[in-house]
Structure 1
Amino acid sequence: MNLTRSEASVRSELLQVHSYDINLDLMRGERVFGSRTVIRFDAVQGASTFIDAVTDTVHRVSLNGVELDPSSVADGHRIALPDLAASNELVVDADMLYMNTGEGLHRFVDPVDGEVYLYTQFEVPDSRRVFAVFEQPDLKSTFRFTVTAPPHWDVISNSPTPEPVAAAAAGEEPARSTWSFEPTPVMSSYVTALIAGPYQAVRSELTSADGRTIPLGVFARRSLMQHLDAENIFKLTRQGFEFYEKQFGTPYPFEKYDQLFVPEFNAGAMENAGAVTFVETYVFRSRVPEATVERRAITILHELAHMWFGDLVTMKWWNDLWLNESFAEYMSTLAAAEATEFTQSWTTFASLEKSWAYRQDQLPSTHPIVAEIKDLDDVQVNFDGITYAKGASVLKQLVAWVGQEKFMEGVREYFSRHSWKNTELKDLLVELEKASGRDLTQWSSLWLETAGVNTLRPEFTVDEDGVITAFSIAQSAPEDYPTIRPHRLAVGFYDLDDEGRLTRVARMELDVDGERTEVPEALGQRRPALVLLNDDDLAYAKIRLDPASLRTSIRHLRHFADSLARTLVWGSAWDAARDGETPARNYVELIMQNIGEESDSSVVLVLLRQLAATLTFYVKPEDRQAMSDAVADSLLELSEAAGPGSDSQLQFIKAFATHARTDAQLDVVEAILTGTSVPEGLTVDQDLRWELLTSLVAGGRYGQEKIDAELAADSTATGQLAAAQARAAVPTAEAKADAWSAIVERSDLPNAAQRSAIQGFTRVHDTALLEPYAAKYFDSVREVWDSRTYEIAQQIVVGLYPSRLVSQDTLERTDAFLAELGDEIPSLRRLILENRDGVQRALRAQAVDR
């Protein structure tokens, strides 16, 4: 199943692929579908190679009119192609398996109406689960899909959907129709797509920069259509189109743009050319925090940016995956800030994305942004905070260094030169150097080819009148990754104004390089109440506050006039708590004293997650329960103080329900759920009902009978997933054993149901319930990795690791497993090492929590 970079490189030298004609028969039952593929390609005459095809049964392989014996050339993963001609035609006729893992062609049955819904997910290596294909990004081609399916279905692909033609059915066969799509433009196989089923659509259109009419569609399952806010999605799409076409100097490259919300999706979205798929939770059937609405907007803009960077111009090999993802991450935030209502999106970026990057960059598995990708297993685990968030942060710093217009000038030339082709990092750097006049060789070496995150601290002295006499910025690096890097950043001075707000009174932008950088502009200024390094968040570095600024932030954090500056201070405090530099309880106190006046929904969401993590992992164990109970009470008070119907009220109520444990707290949760005492302005909709019910289940107040009753009232797919989580959260040994068996010992759970069960299994107030499973985890994890698909195995490896059991014993069990595993499976080893780091970090933090 694996493909090495060297194999791909050899195959790329041998082949030039011209076209795929793919005929899919979706009328063969619940288990398999028919896949007949005709591939036309040139090759080095006399050479031999292989084509990828993950099959159930291969019926026929014909190469240049010669019938090859399937039992000799096909092994279920690859088909050998011997003695190639200069020009070749290959025909592969096979049965492929439907999947329930979110990979390949995923099959889902809607419990509401019994209808079947299909969608493909091909990144990284799963187009081979649907048709025979040379599965690597640099062997681009055109793709023509012909699909036979039930006549009442809608069938969507990269090309515009044609009118279906009724097909003749033999004997008792059900009615069927055939959709014959026009060939796609030249593209990589991983961005081709097929979505099929009785999806419903809302349609619109826009005019592109070159005057073409671009049809737009927004799709969802029939049972979700009443919740689909298509006009909001169209609005964001139009804003994104206008912004990107202007910035990139290249009109939208495809014929239409469909956005499809599909069930049981593993990721947030996927940039299939002209047919983007999104996770279905972005169809809001209940009220969600504004942070979630913003997250959806950023995701919409992220995938749209990929139409240019990723689909029109594609990386040659997966080591440049970061270019795709980092560029889309940076551009989507920029577009949101400059072209939509989400003008505070850089605050969200600093709070959410950069905290992800800093966390990933401090793991033992950290790697350079330009990572060495030896094979497909490497790239599977590389969809991480380095590839997305650190890369985007570094691009933001590069833009600050060379200037946004010069950066975009280089990008425009890049698209002009490389449209419909494959590129490497050097191709982009050449254009950026030409546009900016800067030599990026050293920048690339220091930022893209080395790992680790630097820490910046202000060092200054003042005279007896409070005037600064010396000011410098000290830079340090971790021992294992000692690179000292150049930064373009700003230093902000903040003082309290007459209204008691912390406002910026001075800003100095400069280049920082080396272990110490002097800031002469600061000399002669009065010492402010707070000194903020990396003001405006231009650089990628952890920052620390001097002692006086730290005291100011503790007293006045909520008084910052600017949300981004406030978020940077929040981030510094979080880093210090995670790093064991300050007691975890201090961070808990900082949140509880200030979160009530935090105005940014995304920041509130992140802070509440960090609060939960701090209580779960970093607070001293003997104090954890009392502190958690006190936090729950405070969250309830904060919800009561928040405005009725406000975003903060909703978020605080949800957080309170998560932490509720005492009888008094569970009484409040039950009163809200049953309607006997609902806070003013709070709407207890269906999804909130499930959260409240699961709180009562985890607290031991409710059991299976209440879960079944709620599921009877909400028998939707979402309801089934919520019920699966609640069942696994029942705090009894029997319930945990049942959940473990369903997740680990059986293999029939679909991806989404497994994810929900894992979340419920680990949701405990008493970690003693999880102790019997520490040894079972290490006994089972190797077999899970060997027998499950990557997505399913990763869920289990990460989700069931005994991270809640923060102890030396957990570290020793982990080390014993790693010693036995050796270097045999690098991707599995990496995930286990990352899990181990979380426990080790928690032990360090607990040691200083006094």
Structure 2
Amino acid sequence: MRALTVEEARQRATDLALRSYEVAFDLTGDGDTFVTTSRIRFGATSSTSWVDVKPERLISVELNGQTLDTGALDGGRFPLTGLQAENDLVVTAELKYAADGEGLQRSVDAADGRVYTYGMSSLESAPRYFPCFDQPDLKAPYTITVKCPGDWIVLGNGAATRTAPGEWTLAETKPLSTYFVTLVAGPYHQLRSEYDGIPLGLACRQSLKEHLERDAEDLFRTTRDAFDAYHRMFRARYPFGEYWQVFAPDFNLGAMENPGCVTVSDDLVFRGPVTDAERSTRSRILVHEMAHMWFGDLVTMKWWNDMWLNESFAEYMAHRVAEDATSYQGNWVDFAFVRKWWGLQTDQSSSTHPVAPDSLKDARQSLDDFDGISYAKGAAVLKQLAKYLGDDIFLKGVNAHLEAHEYGNADLHEFIAKLTEAGARDLDTWSDQWLRTSGVDTITAERTGAGIVLHRSSPDESRRLHKLSLGAYDADGSAASVDVVIAGDAAEVVLGNDAGVVVPDAGDDTWAKIRLDPTSLANLPTVLPAITDGTTRAVIWNSIRDAVADAELDPRQALELFTAALPHEDSDVAVGSLVRWLEERVLGGYLEYDEARGPLADALGSKLATTAPGSSLQLVTARGLISTTNDIALLRSWLDSSAAPDGLEIDADLRWALVLRLVRLGEFGATEIDAELDRDKSTEGVVQASRCRAALPDGKEAAWTRIMTDPSVGVQELLAAADGFWHPGQAAITAPYVQRFFTDIPPTADIRAGMVVGLTTARIAPRYVIDADLVGPAEALVADGSVNSGIRRKTANFLDDLRRALAVRSTFG
């Protein structure tokens, strides 16, 4: 099925004016299909158009009382001819439940056999479960009715009312774009509350009931705090009636901003102990989706090239509001260590793009740009803009934008116009420098006889202005800083040059690669532990990680710095993100696995002995040790709880981590995996078992076949199998599958759609095989225009990483 182009969307938006949708779902069947009828009332200024529907069977189409030939359906589009000034279209279709997280997803809970459904409409998915005019700038109110099993409840964008056993009606909504329409139906457990006149709700699978109830007050408190913050900032109150947060199974994203009924991945209903960082991340995800109620839902972009207006704004607001208004702190530290690092990597990849691209991709290709640019880089430049303008001007412009385009659509030019009307100046230059170009500048510190000079180098002619702070630090804990504006290629700074470590952009205020001077690099092992500001430590570590990736710094030096700094590190965000980087990039990538694994495991073991029992640091350190140690006796003793560290709860998830490591070490096999699954008979257990089975030497072929050919595998089980497949300690075992990746991955786009296609590609690419012979096949796949764009994008990212690893090994051995 061909994707919608911007030219087609613009023409259809010109031709049609939608009045309303009435959508009826019949979910009472026993098979893998359901029936939907959409009645769409719309005006037209053209005699022809089309409606989008992707059915198993198109049952009937009626236009203005005339029955049309269902055989006219062509590639998900049904042509409409003879349109009148006002039209009444009724389309009935039998559609298939989804397993890939796009459309109406159906999941069976392994814990009790209950069936759950939820709708995901993003980008091209809405026509997979209801006929519609699928593009963001054709909004209309929706009224929905549902027939379903009698023990189910129904939720959606409008308030739900049970009208009879197994029959529900959802109240008419405000005008909505198709991509954030949703339906939630199943025997969900519900919790209700109310705040400031807004009915609040939480829902999850029945098997997660006790865990949701344990965290309900925390979730409701975050929601209340965020509503207060947004109502202070925005003149328009929350406009969509009830506000449900449904923790849905087999979700392929963190969450989706459906007005009135946000869907959230139910792995954020924590079954056991988690770190403070993970709770903080969950809070930010909820706050992020709440920001979309204004930016994205109340005012929506006209086309997907401006989806950064949704995601960058929500990302920025999530960190700002979570830091200022909720009980969770350290959000900007997390942003620097995790989100900004993600964005910086993306901005240096071959697939980088401007935050606000001029190129107008089709709807399918636009999905590829939901990445570190549209989220992290966009959020960073909005933070920079808000600080530059001040809240008086920034929020005045934002509110004017929301009011001018309420329940409608807008683009970047209209947003910039409202900021300008509010008092902002020279935004065209700012927009050209930060939104319309891609790539990242490098800022380098140089010590001179007179002080410090900061040098700026750029990958293009943008010559971006940078406002930042320069920090100076010593091992005794003393620190000083000075604000700097870099308008040219060099800026002299009046600051002593005798400090142990000098850090450009110490407050993480700009978007740039940072390079430390040689003296600072040499002094880091002694000075880094004395730097108390977590954000500054993140800036330093991002500089280290980036210099390693650019083959400018020996990865052994980075590993040695980590082992030196780890005893003093008190941030679970820092430990978790750095261990993840070491495992994903250094162990088996930049360095041979056996060379680097031991020092990392030893450092984590020493750290664990000093962490407070029951603390986040203890948990994140223990996870790192489990995944890197070769001490089979230790792993076994933790698994049977005979020698686990005091305060460390060996819950179901930690048990599975232990089983996985013992599988990879050849100590456990299928029998032990089955025994653990018998102990944890949950959906989560099935997912974990999928990861462990893919790690078995004799389980590789079965896992590969499921990943590449089985469309019925659920999202989480699929991704877990891909996660478990490759490991640098199994290079000989997985060698036969390296070249198969390039031939077997393209057809997966024929059995799955949407986000999971790229996610699977990224996970099943042979990322630990550092071999120049892979460059050619990867280049050929990326260049093949017949291959799904998401597969090509993720393969291009794999190729970027491969080239970096080859350069690092060539430079440092």
TM-score, normalized by length of structure 1? 0.93
- Give the SS at the match of 2:92: strand
The answer as to 2:787 corresponding to 1:838 is: no
Bigger shift: residues 394-403 or 327-336: 394-403
Change (3 A) 1:526 1:816: closer
Q: Secondary structure of 1:381's partner?
A: helix
Please give the per-residue CA displacement for 1:665-718, whole angstroms capped at 9, x wherever unaligned: 111111110122111111111111111111101110011111111111111000
| Alignment check: 8 A CA contact 1:529 1:552 kept | yes
- The answer to whether structure 1 residue 701 and structure 2 residue 667 are counterparts is yes
* 1:255 paired residue among 241, 256, 265: 241
**Quick one: distance in 2 between partners of 1:823 and 1:439?**
43
Aligned to 1:201: 190
Return the offset for 1:552: 2.7
Q: Does 1:848 align with 2:807?
A: no
Q: Partner of 2:487 in structure 1?
A: 513
AA at the equivalent of 2:479: R
Is the partner of 1:629 in helix, strand or coil?
helix
Please state how far the C-alpha of 1:367 moved relative to its aligned partner.
Answer: 0.6
What is the deviation of 1:826?
4.3
**Which residue of 2 is the match for residue 575 of structure 1?**
546
Match of 1:225 among 209, 214, 220: 209
Q: Give 3-state SS (helix, strand or coil) of 1:278's partner.
A: strand
1:210 aligned partner: none
Give the alignment of 1:232-271 within 5 angstroms. Answer: 232-271=218-257
Match of 1:767 in 2: 731
Give the corresponding residue for 2:88: 89
Gaps of 5+ in 2: none
- Once the two structures are superposed, the pairs formed by residues 282-681 of structure 1 within 5 Å of their partners are 282-371=268-357, 372-462=359-449, 469-478=450-459, 481-496=460-475, 500-501=476-477, 503-505=478-480, 507-519=481-493, 522=494, 525=496, 527-621=498-592, 624-661=593-630, 665-681=631-647
SS at match of 2:67: strand
Structure 1 residue 610, shift from structure 2 partner: 1.2
- CA deviation string 1:606-636 (max 9, x = no partner): 1111121243354343xx3032123212212
Contact 2:158 2:171 in 1 (8 A): yes
Tell me if 1:3 matches 2:9. no
| Distance in structure 1 (CA, Å) of the matches to 2:812 and 2:587 | 13
Q: Deviations over 1:23-80 (max 9, x none)?
A: 00010223111101110000014x2111111111111111111111111x21361111
CA positional deviation for 1:763: 3.3
CA distance in structure 2 between the aligned counterparts of 1:550 and 1:409, rounded to whole angstroms: 44
| SS of match in other structure, 2:90 | strand
What's 2:176 paired with?
187
Confirm or deny: 8 A CA contact 2:677 2:689 kept in the other structure.
yes
CA 1:326–1:363 in 2, change beyond 3 Å: closer, same or farther? Answer: same
For residue 848 of structure 1, give the secondary structure of its aligned residue in structure 2.
Answer: helix
Mean Cα deviation higher: 791-800 or 181-190: 791-800
Percent of pairs with identical residues: 36
SS at match of 2:609: helix
Structure 1 contact 55–97 (Cα < 8 Å) conserved: yes
- Superposed CA offset, 1:334-376 (max 9, x none): 0011111223111111111110010000100111111223201
**Which stretch of the first structure deviates more once superposed, 508-517 or 118-127?**
508-517
Distance in 1 (CA, whole Å) between partners of 2:24 and 2:371 is 35
Conserved in 2, the CA contact under 8 Å of 1:584 and 1:614? Answer: no
1:55 aligned counterpart, secondary structure:
coil
Are residue 70 (structure 1) and residue 41 (structure 2) matched?
no
Could you tell me how far apart the structure 1 residues matched to 2:264 and 2:220 are? 14
Distance apart, 1:764 and its partner CA: 5.0
| Partner AA of 1:483 in structure 2 | S
The one-letter amino acid of 1:440's match is L
Q: How big is the shift at 1:475?
A: 0.6
Number of corresponding residues: 809
- The whole-number CA distance in structure 1 between the counterparts of 2:296 and 2:755 is 22
CA distance in 1: counterparts of 2:701 and 2:200, whole angstroms = 48
* TM superposition shift of 1:792: 4.0
Q: Which amino acid aligns with 2:84?
A: A
Contact preservation (8 Å) 1:57, 1:76: no
> Aligned partners of 2:598 and 2:445: how far apart in 1?
37
Distance 2:423 2:551 in 1: 41
Please state how far the C-alpha of 1:556 moved relative to its aligned partner: 1.8
Task: Provide the rounded CA distance (Å) in 2 between the counterparts of 1:594 and 1:476.
Answer: 30
1:107 Cα offset (Å): 0.4
Report the AA paired with residue 328 of structure 1.
A
Deviation at residue 818 of structure 1 after TM alignment = 4.1
8 Å CA contact 2:589–2:770 kept in 1: the answer is no
Q: How many Å separate the matches in 2 of 1:671 and 1:777?
A: 38
| Alpha-carbon shift at residue 470 of structure 1 (Å) | 4.8
Alpha-carbon distance in 2 for matches of 1:626, 1:671 = 26
SS in 1 for 2:529: helix
The match for 1:54 is 54
Q: Tell me which residue corresponds to 2:740.
A: 776
Contact 1:396 1:539 in 2 (8 A): no
User: What is the CA–CA distance in structure 1 between the aligned matches of 2:811 and 2:728, rounded to whole Å?
Assistant: 25
Structure 1 stretches lacking a partner, 5+ long: 167-176, 208-212, 463-468
1:814 and 1:718 mapped to 2: Cα distance?
34
In structure 1, C-alpha distance between the alignment counterparts of 2:747 and 2:226, rounded to whole Å: 45
Q: Contact 1:490/1:533 (CA < 8 Å) preserved in 2?
A: yes
Q: Which of residues 791, 797, 810 in structure 1 aligns to 2:761? A: 797
Distance 2:728 2:109 in 1: 31
Structure 1 residues 44, 330: closer, same or farther in 2, change over 3 A? same
Q: What letter corresponds to residue 101 of structure 1 in structure 2?
A: D
- Match of residue 689 from structure 2: 723
In structure 1, C-alpha distance between the alignment counterparts of 2:375 and 2:756, rounded to whole Å: 22
How far is 1:822 from its partner?
4.7
Distance 1:122 1:822, change over 3 A: closer
What's the CA shift for 1:443? 0.8
Shift in alpha-carbon separation, 1:224–1:574, aligned structure 2, 3 A: same
Q: Partner of 2:117 in structure 1?
A: 118
**Which residue of 2 is the match for residue 127 of structure 1?**
126
Deviation at 1:380? 1.3
Residues 538-584 of structure 1: per-residue CA shift (max 9 Å, x gap): 11111111222222322221211211112211111111111111000
Question: Which residue type is aligned with residue 103 of structure 1?
Answer: E
Shift, 1:807, TM fit: 0.7
Using structure 2 for the length normalisation, give the TM-score: 0.97
Counterpart of 2:649 (choices 678, 683, 689) is 683
SS of residue paired to 2:581 = helix
Whichever residue aligns with residue 504 of structure 1, its letter is A
**Deviation of the 1:824 alpha carbon:** 6.4
| Offset at residue 829 of structure 1 (A) | 2.7
Q: What pairs with 1:2-41 in structure 2 (closer than 5 Å)?
A: 2-41=3-42
Taking a change above 3 Å as real, the CA distance of residues 698 and 617 of structure 1, as seen in their structure-2 partners, is: closer
- Local SS of the residue matching 1:164: strand
* Residue 270 of structure 1, CA deviation: 0.4
Quote how far apart the aligned CAs of 1:486 are: 1.1
User: What secondary structure, in the 3-state scheme, does the structure 1 residue paired with 2:307 have?
Assistant: helix
